[in-house]
């Protein structure tokens, strides 16, 4: 940079176009930079490229650190901002596309929000509703849907006692073995056994449901956008198809399902079953109970997580108070001290 400034200054003096040699900063302000490859080292700009004189050069703002024009940085800043903008925009578009992929389409209603009793920050699940929801699954849903990630031992202490859970497990027959002679046998279920599947494999499930595969319900409230609100709306949202929509044989219309055509028939009606505790089994009550049960099956740690949050808030509040008191106590000497300079007496 110094070399080019010296060269331009000599040319101006030889041509006698100026009577006074301009300062270096003025020369820099009158130069048009053809190539903006540069770097800054020890607060001095060193430019690499071709420089030409121009009488109509735009004004340049000096750099605050080394008093040289700031245009050297503009190109790199523009490229940096453009790169950050492209990355941010691409990330946002990707997140938006992933979010839209699990949402309802334009031909589908969005489920309304319901005031569930467990929606509060410190609200637990309704365990009586979980027990009733298990009865709904056992008597209605288990005919088509599996819950392969849920074992009978998970019911203990949540909706059933250990004796009741063992009685529920013994109602099923589990193929076990081999025995000492290498033969397989059927035995009553145990607490360690998982809920049985209604079909031996996926092909059998599709064959029994006109090609549609009934999904596993263990994590269904986490696998669907809207959670239990979506499941409740789907179970209670069956209606006649509007004009212009033709359904194939074995299909039913539900506006909350993608496309509206669903292969699952309406399963919940008024008095579809009798609760063991005598609760009236209306369609909405049955749907609410089974949704609560599915919410618990997807998040069995729900209550423990919120209970741990309450304990953490109490403990950290106490620790924060003690920490603040100790801080004030330790720093009180430092903040209240007075420093004085006492010179030594001259002899």
Binding residues: 141, 144-145, 264
In angstroms, the CA 190 to CA 127 distance is 23
What span, in angstroms and rounded, lies between the C-alpha atoms of 274 and 132?
10
* Rounded Cα distance, 221 and 229, in Å: 9
> If you search the block for the tokens 């497990």, which residue do you land on?
169
* Separation of alpha carbons 170 and 163, rounded Å: 11
Distance CA 252, CA 245 (A): 11
Which residue, 52, 73, 65, is CA-closest to 4? 52
Residues whose CB is less than 8 angstroms from the CB of residue 168 and which lie 6 or more positions away in sequence, other chains included: 152, 155, 160
Tokens standing for residue 195: 């809920």
Distance CA 219, CA 216 (A): 7
Q: Which residues sit in the known binding site for heme c? A: 141, 144-145, 264
- Which residues is 52 bridged to in the sheet? 32
Structure tokens at 96: 């938006």
248 class by beta-carbon count within 10 Å (0-12 exposed, 13-18 middle, 19+ buried): exposed
Radius of gyration of the chain (CA): 38
Position of tokens 């499941």? 231
């Amino acid at each position: 940079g110094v070399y080019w400034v010296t060269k331009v200054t000599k040319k101006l003096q030889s041509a006698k176009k100026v009577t006074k040699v301009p300062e270096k900063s003025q020369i820099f302000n009158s130069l048009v930079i053809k190539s903006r490859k540069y770097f800054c080292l020890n607060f001095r700009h060193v430019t690499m490229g071709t420089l030409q004189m121009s009488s109509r050069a735009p004004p340049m703002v000096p750099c605050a650190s080394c008093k040289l024009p700031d245009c050297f940085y503009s190109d790199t800043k523009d490229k940096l901002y453009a790169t950050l903008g492209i990355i941010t925009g691409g990330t946002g578009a990707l997140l938006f596309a992933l979010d839209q992929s699990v949402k309802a389409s334009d031909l589908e209603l969005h489920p309304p929000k319901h005031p569930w009793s467990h929606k509060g920050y410190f609200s637990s699940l309704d365990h009586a509703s979980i027990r009733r929801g298990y009865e709904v699954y056992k008597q209605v849903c288990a005919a088509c849907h599996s819950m392969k990630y849920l074992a009978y031992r998970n019911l203990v202490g949540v909706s059933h006692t250990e004796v009741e859970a063992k009685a529920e497990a013994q109602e099923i027959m589990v193929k076990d073995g081999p025995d000492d002679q290498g033969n397989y046998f059927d035995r009553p279920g145990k607490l360690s056994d998982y809920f049985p599947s209604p079909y031996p494999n996926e092909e059998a499930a599709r064959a029994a449901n006109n090609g549609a595969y009934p999904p596993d319900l263990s994590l269904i409230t986490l696998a669907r956008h809207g959670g239990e609100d979506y499941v409740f709306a789907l179970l209670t949202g069956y209606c006649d198809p509007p004009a212009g929509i033709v359904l194939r044989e074995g299909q039913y219309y539900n506006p909350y399902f993608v496309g509206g055509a669903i292969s699952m028939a309406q399963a919940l009606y008024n008095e579809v079953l009798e609760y063991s505790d005598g609760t009236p089994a209306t369609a909405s009550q049955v749907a609410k109970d089974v949704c609560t049960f599915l919410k618990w099956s997807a998040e069995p740690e729900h209550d423990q997580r919120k209970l741990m949050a309450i304990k953490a808030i109490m403990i950290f509040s106490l620790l924060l108070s003690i920490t603040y008191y100790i801080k004030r106590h330790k720093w009180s000497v430092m903040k209240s001290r007075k420093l004085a300079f006492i010179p030594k007496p001259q002899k």
